[in-house]
Structure 1
Amino acid sequence: MSAANQIQNKKINGQYKRETFPVLEMSCAACAVSVESMLKSTVGVKDAGVNFANQTAWVEYDSKLAKPADLQNSVRSIGYDLVVDVEDPQAVQEEAQRKHYEAVKHRTIWSSILSMPVVIIGMFFMDMPYGSYISMVLTAPVVFYFGRNFFVNAWKQARHGKANMDTLVALSTGIAFVFSVFNTFFPDFWHSRGMHAHVYFEAAAVVIAFISLGKLLEEKAKSNTSSAMKKLMGLQPKTVRAIIDGTEHEIPIASVKVGYTIQVRPGEKIPVDGVVINGSSFVDESMISGEPVAVEKKNGEKVFAGTINQKGSFLFNAEKVGGDTILAQIIKMVQQAQGSKAPVQKLVDKIAGVFVPVVIVIAILTFITWMIVGGDNAFTYALLNSVTVLVIACPCALGLATPTAIMVGVGKGAENNILIKDAESLELAHKVNVVILDKTGTITEGKPVVTDLVWTNGEASVREKQILYTLESQSEHPLAEAVLNNLKSESISAIMLDSFESVTARGVKGTIDDKNYFVGNRKLIAENKVNISIEISTLTTKLQSEAKTVVYFSDNHSVLAVVAIADKIKATSKAAIESLHNKGIEVYMLTGDNEQTAKAVANEVGLKHFKAEVLPSDKAQFVKALQAEGKVVAMVGDGINDSHALAEADVSIAMGKGSDIAMDVAKMTLITSDLQSIPKALNLSTKTVIGIKQNLFWAFIYNVIGIPLAAGVLYPVNGFLLDPMIAGAAMALSSVSVVGNSLRLRAAKI
């Protein structure tokens, strides 16, 4: 896919255009909401949507009233940016994200280093000579240099009447710092009023350091969002060999036109969709069908871009090129599935949306109230109590509530061979009530193996095994590899043949000492008038009913052996499916394989629901249909053909031995490819979400109790006023409670 196609651009309803732009500088789901609202309010914009997961925005706008530059300026006004009018916007976005991650990492490291001595002085050596001055010098760069983005973003949000977590961080740290500076230089102001001149530099510094750490963890989790698209696009070769006017030319893939004759050699990727016109081969189409057995291609057979040719070579006529190929459609479907999901408002973002303005209003009301009723020391009480409200309401614990639980949950998952890329999926997995399993490579091993090798005379001679080995070693059929692997385990080696012939769509024939031997399907045996006994017929019928492929080995007169080949079911698949059923979860199997094979596998693992001969787009449609019924769907797959459905599902899980693309699109990966890890992942989600909710409780219980105390509600009753130092300690204690509660998950059983 060319760079020009990275930004989709098409006419809609006359002058309306719909374009997709990369977005820079978004760091939370609330950012996506802000960008979306600004785009929608821009003159000429009909509709817009922002996806935080893949950092893009689509905009439908009147091209006569708005230009991309107008959209960019609108987004820039609140501190974000759109990538417009560049050759390779994806590259620009990736470079910007890399620089942003490095900047956040730099800020986090240095703010942490400078905060440590400030905390030590503030907690243990508060009376040391010049301690306040040392703390002030160390805190100033943390707050106003390494934490400057909080102030800049808070100002930009305020200009548009908005407030977010940055607003509260900026207010609490800024006021705490200014208040502490005043107390450092003018302690007598408080001493003359019978009060101690407390400083809160450690509170300001630690808040910046902790919140920066949380943002660093978020950026790290998002760092690989575009790799799936890169790998899908990498399936297309850069150049192709086209036969033009009878001469072979190597041309760029972008120059291929419908009707061109293309040559494909052994081991090459097929560049575009078309029909074979000369030659034959076997083609690995697992990226489309998910099935491990390569498909034979001869004259008149269709071939598809991105699939891999095996040993033969052929010419084909290009029928679909560029964005019309099956591979291009898969890429487009994955992009649309990822981009169509509205940004999920995390629980903490929703709470923060109410919490921030409420705290600011309470602090202002506290100041006003004390100015009215404070008497002779009205200003002192007003300033002290309003600052105490902001200090105790500091969002440190709130900011840590989700990340710490997620961090421990992700670590716990890794210990149990579950790699979790996305916090959203970990939070959502406990709600899953439908699990969809791909067959090949998920329920089964994904590789054909010999399950039965029955010699008609009871035991074969070494020479017969050598003949079978030799014939299969020269065969181009993909199932021959399974037979070879089976015989290699017996240390069988090849011998010399007098002649060898590959019989198209039948098998192979070889001659030794004027005697013919055949390896192939029933048609090959029948055409050469080889006798098939009733016992052999009964055996093959039984094997085929078990969804196994049967290969015959014979001489001129009779069948010497029957070989059954199948994709073995994993040892743990049945138990895992039973475990999911016991949790009340519906389990479906989707496969591109035939009905007979699908039914045999479903029966063996105890599945009631399955669908056979399913295309990649059908899998995604099935996911959508279940979601339309209100189901929360988990999709488990291992191949490129599963990538669209994985992107569409609420929770996507890839098998660790599957394709890189499936693992990139999926939000969870099972390292061992053991399906028993799926129930574990769902249990882990449940425990993590409980931990997050408990953390939010601890983060807020101090505020629920502390903010009214800080505002002075008990003063009329018993004269009690909360000391800002106690408020700072309560804030720190809430953070310790959150971290400690998260660490309990390490010992939990899943």
Structure 2
Amino acid sequence: MEKPQVRELRFEVTGLSCAGCVGRAERALAAVNGVHTASVNLATRKAHVIGLADISVSEFRVALAKAGYPAAETTVDLRITGLTCASCVGRVERALQAVDGVISADVNLAQEQAHVTYVSETLTLERLIRASATAGYLAKPVDGTGTDSRQIEMQEELQSLGRRVLIAAALTLPVFVIEMGGHVVPALHHWVAQIVGTSNSHILQFLLTTLVLFGPGLRFYRQGIPALLRGAPDMNALVAMGTMAAYGFSVVSTFVPSVLPAGTANVYYEAAAVIVTLILLGRWLEARAKGRTGAAIRALVGLQPKTALVVVGQAVEERPVTELSVGDRLRARPGERIAVDGVVLTGRSYVDESMITGEPVPVGKSDADMLSAGTINGSAVLDYRATHVGADTLLAQIVRMVEQAQGAKLPVQALVNRITLWFVPAVMVVAALTVFVWLVFGPVPALPYALVAGVSVLIIACPCAMGLATPTSIMVGIGRAAQMGVLFRKGDALQRLQETRVVALDKTGTLTEGHPVLTELRCTDGFDRAELLRLMAAAEVQSEHPIGRAIMAAAGDDIPVATNVEAIPGYGLRARIADQQVLIGATRLMQREGISSQLFEKEAERLAAQGATTLFAAVDGKLAGLVAVTDPVKSSSRVAVRAMRAQGLKVAMLTGDGSATAQAVADDLGIDIVEANCLPGDKVTALEALQRNHGRLAFVGDGINDAPALAAADVGIAIGTGTDVAIETADIVLVSGDLHGVVKAITVSRATLRNIRQNLGWAFGYNILLVPVAAGLLVPFGGPLLSPGLAAGAMALSSVFVITNALRLRRLRSDLDLSEADLKIRGARQLEEVQP
């Protein structure tokens, strides 16, 4: 009896923290059917498994995930060559996903790139490359040089296509003039017959067409015929079959016409030559348009300067940016770009940050202010210390984020992929049926009609447009958003955002500045304002509360020392300054201590109704004064909320503030729904209630306490000036730090999805309408039989139309630029578009 084959696997396990974890992970692996031995090393975090050869890596992955110790994952990007249509995308994805250990594989036709995730250490890059090559598409890792090298490759491809188009056109023109010109101008036909001779004319067309097909057009046969032989036909296979049918029939008609039925020995060299030339022209136009879809990301990459001025002692020397290190002292002269992220050491200047934030107004920078790579210094010299260099700069992170989001697939793309998977085989069946119907029911001689109709069906079908409809719009839309200061961390957030009905906003740091300031100070008789403020600031020195910091900021530097400071939870605090006893707190603290606050109670109610937080102060048992602290509303919030409501959205505010303060802010800004007294956990509960009552929602926040809400929302939007935790949890990041970015994100989302719907409508409508026309559906009703040349032209222009339509997103403006009336009209129309 043959001994079963055994395989040995090693891979990394995550989540291990103790021997108990190791034991549970080992038991989970050992429980997989066919495993002989399984061991896990806590120090190296590696699992070593021996078992039957037919056990797939996915079984181990599922077992570890259920046990709570997921296998480590690795991602890699591959450049795929030879992709021409959506059918190619599906085949490469299936080939990569079939490799044992691969978790997911997504191929983007517009980027010509595959994003593969696999269980770490279970396979090699060579296996992935080999799998793609077996499917007929060469692959190589995306190199670290990034967009520049890709741009060079695209330029080379564009130049190569341009040369092929010129050669093909030069060779095709005489064939087209000789054959088609004779039909249009009878005198030309007679002249060719008399001077050149019909037989010689056919031989000349044969020679020129052969040069076109097996010169510039050879790429179609090199890729299409192997795909056909593998049983996986693609766009190249359709072109190869169509042109070879026309060319082969013409060759037979030229050299052995006797084998054909009488009256059918016609030549169609011009059809084969024109098809190749027009499709090459379409590919060239498509390549030019594709090059512009990545313009936004290339513009971002081009922002970082190649060199920087480094201050060494008293000297200044120029160095490549790649040689800079954290801690280097750098200098930015007027008009120069900031080389890397840093903090200002000396100098005062204004910096243009519009290329990153999308905001046109320069920002003042002085000591201790942060600088971002790629921004432009104003009219003064700035010396700064490098804090992040290379791939760690904000600009580099933005580029990575945008590239990853551009490669995402929206849910709508899954349906397109399923359809296009069978599209090319279906077209071949339709072409075969077309030929059969014409041969049986067509006029005599039927063979030429059947050939023309069959070739036209093969050529006019365009899976390219279907495959490009979604990814090109995503690439351009997300790139345009980045230019506007909106970063989509997850590409599918594009689709989810345009489906939202409610935008829920955190208050502190999102609607407001997040830095409370002292706005009112009232004193009773016998107390000096400046002295009372100093006493209160002294009591608040040890406080971390924002209100305490606002009081200290207003008092200045001359603050006495307090002793015996005592925090009274829920009430306020008590402190002794010199020989005076100071109390600071709410009304209930005064009541507890038997101090009447009636003198200022109405004033406190009025200030609270305006959104201020009020506190009373007492000195030596007597009411001394009333202070009001306000967190100012950002200047951008009011305009942004108005724009969101005009877009047809409801706006909600979630805050931990009291009801009176929260309602005052909401009334001031025109917010529809208010949820006050919200703890971090309460925000999630409030969001769930809003989702039940109103549908999909987006939540905007900036703090650590907003992270749960950002994760719970359908779309989480983080203010880019907030905490890293909030940013990492969010689907979208607003670099500019204000709510204008929310309006911009919604504008981009709706415009991009509308653009995708237009592209898909065109791509599917084109094929549904023109394939029957090419088959001759209009002929029985007196209509024309479409020529293969016109079919090739229509097919070539279909893909160009889709990409050109996507490129319109580069000119997208924010809804903030529109009038309120225009916003309301647009908002109503866009909400109708996404109604289920």
Which TM-score band applies after superposition, normalised by the shorter structure? 0.5 to 0.7
What SS class does the counterpart of residue 345 from structure 1 fall into? helix
CA distance in 2, matches of 1:598, 1:97: 52
Does residue 1:193 correspond to 2:266, yes or no?
yes
Q: What is the deviation of 1:726? A: 1.7
Q: Which residue matches 1:203?
A: 279
Amino acid at match of 2:173: D
Among residues 363, 370, 380, which one is paired with 2:431 in the alignment?
363
Identical-residue share of aligned pairs (%): 28
Query: Which has the higher Rg, Structure 1 or Structure 2?
Result: 2
What SS class does the counterpart of residue 653 from structure 2 fall into? strand
CA contact (8 A) 1:425 1:667 kept: yes
TM-score normalized by structure 1?
A: 0.59
- Cα separation, partners in 2 of 1:575 and 1:501, compared to 1, 3 Å: same
Among residues 2, 14, 23, which one is paired with 1:5 in the alignment?
14
CA distance in 1, matches of 2:480, 2:96: 40
Q: Give the alignment of 1:570-589 within 5 angstroms.
A: 570-571=634-635, 573=637, 576-577=640-641, 580=644, 585-589=649-653
Q: What is the deviation of 1:392? A: 1.8
Among residues 228, 232, 235, which one is paired with 1:169 in the alignment?
235
Does residue 1:564 correspond to 2:628, yes or no?
yes
- Cα separation, partners in 2 of 1:630 and 1:530, compared to 1, 3 Å: closer
Q: CA RMSD in A?
A: 6.2
Amino acid at match of 2:469: A
CA contact (8 A) 1:108 1:216 kept: no
Q: What is the deviation of 1:676? A: 5.7
Q: Which residue matches 2:7?
A: none
Q: Give the alignment of 1:249-328 within 5 angstroms.
A: none
Does residue 1:344 correspond to 2:411, yes or no?
yes
- Cα separation, partners in 2 of 1:208 and 1:479, compared to 1, 3 Å: same
What SS class does the counterpart of residue 481 from structure 1 fall into? helix
Gap regions ≥5 residues in structure 2? 1-10, 33-62, 109-113, 135-139, 176-206, 258-264, 301-404, 824-836
Q: Give the alignment of 1:30-179 within 5 angstroms.
A: 79=132, 108-122=154-168, 126-127=172-173, 139=216, 167-172=233-238, 174-175=240-241
Among residues 607, 610, 613, which one is paired with 2:678 in the alignment?
613
CA distance in 2, matches of 1:500, 1:186: 107
Q: Which residue matches 1:237?
A: none
Does residue 1:638 correspond to 2:696, yes or no?
no
CA distance in 2, matches of 1:575, 1:49: 43
- Cα separation, partners in 2 of 1:658 and 1:205, compared to 1, 3 Å: farther
Q: What is the deviation of 1:203? A: 1.3
Amino acid at match of 2:563: E
Q: Give the alignment of 1:522-671 within 5 angstroms.
A: 534-536=598-600, 538-540=602-604, 543=607, 548-551=612-615, 561-571=625-635, 573=637, 576-577=640-641, 580=644, 585-591=649-655, 598=662, 601-602=665-666, 605-610=670-675, 612-615=677-680, 619=683, 631-671=695-735
Q: Which residue matches 2:518?
A: 450
Q: What is the deviation of 1:393? A: 1.5
Q: What is the deviation of 1:588? A: 3.8
Does residue 1:723 correspond to 2:787, yes or no?
yes
CA distance in 2, matches of 1:29, 1:569: 49
Does residue 1:706 correspond to 2:799, yes or no?
no
CA contact (8 A) 2:587 2:616 kept: no
Amino acid at match of 2:157: S
CA contact (8 A) 2:289 2:803 kept: no
Amino acid at match of 1:111: E
Amino acid at match of 1:494: D
CA contact (8 A) 2:250 2:268 kept: no
Q: Which residue matches 1:503?
A: 565
- Cα separation, partners in 2 of 1:34 and 1:682, compared to 1, 3 Å: same
Q: What is the deviation of 1:729? A: 1.8
CA distance in 1, matches of 2:64, 2:720: 41
What SS class does the counterpart of residue 613 from structure 1 fall into? coil
Q: Which residue matches 2:336?
A: none
Worse-matched range after superposition: 121-130 or 717-726: 121-130
Q: What is the deviation of 1:589? A: 3.4
What SS class does the counterpart of residue 411 from structure 2 fall into? coil
CA contact (8 A) 2:251 2:267 kept: no
Q: Deviations over 1:292-320 (max 9, x none)?
A: xxxxxxxxxxxxxxxxxxxxxxxxxxxxx
CA distance in 2, matches of 1:733, 1:524: 76
- Cα separation, partners in 2 of 1:646 and 1:30, compared to 1, 3 Å: farther
- Cα separation, partners in 2 of 1:587 and 1:558, compared to 1, 3 Å: same
Q: Deviations over 1:402-446 (max 9, x none)?
A: 345445645665676555555543344333223332333233333
- Cα separation, partners in 2 of 1:115 and 1:96, compared to 1, 3 Å: closer
Q: Give the alignment of 1:469-488 within 5 angstroms.
A: 478-486=546-554
CA contact (8 A) 1:448 1:479 kept: yes
Amino acid at match of 1:503: V
What is the count of residue pairs matched by the alignment? 592
CA contact (8 A) 2:505 2:651 kept: yes
Amino acid at match of 1:168: D
- Cα separation, partners in 2 of 1:585 and 1:217, compared to 1, 3 Å: same
CA contact (8 A) 2:278 2:793 kept: no
CA contact (8 A) 2:12 2:121 kept: no
CA distance in 2, matches of 1:352, 1:473: 68
- Cα separation, partners in 2 of 1:542 and 1:410, compared to 1, 3 Å: same
Among residues 382, 397, 400, which one is paired with 2:465 in the alignment?
397
CA distance in 2, matches of 1:675, 1:344: 27
Q: Which residue matches 1:263?
A: none
CA distance in 1, matches of 2:680, 2:714: 20
CA distance in 2, matches of 1:598, 1:34: 56
Amino acid at match of 1:193: N
What SS class does the counterpart of residue 173 from structure 2 fall into? coil
CA contact (8 A) 1:25 1:100 kept: no
Does residue 1:433 correspond to 2:484, yes or no?
no
CA contact (8 A) 1:401 1:696 kept: yes
What SS class does the counterpart of residue 446 from structure 1 fall into? coil
Q: Which residue matches 2:759?
A: 695
CA contact (8 A) 1:210 1:396 kept: no
Amino acid at match of 1:433: R
- Cα separation, partners in 2 of 1:42 and 1:520, compared to 1, 3 Å: same
- Cα separation, partners in 2 of 1:356 and 1:29, compared to 1, 3 Å: closer
Q: Deviations over 1:700-738 (max 9, x none)?
A: 444344323333445677695433322222223334544
Q: Deviations over 1:365-418 (max 9, x none)?
A: 335556667899887766654443233223343344334544564566567655
Q: What is the deviation of 1:175? A: 4.6
CA contact (8 A) 1:22 1:55 kept: no
Q: What is the deviation of 1:535? A: 1.7
Q: What is the deviation of 1:115? A: 1.6
TM-score normalized by structure 2?
A: 0.54
- Cα separation, partners in 2 of 1:600 and 1:708, compared to 1, 3 Å: same
CA distance in 2, matches of 1:728, 1:522: 80
CA contact (8 A) 2:503 2:651 kept: yes
Q: What is the deviation of 1:603? A: 5.6
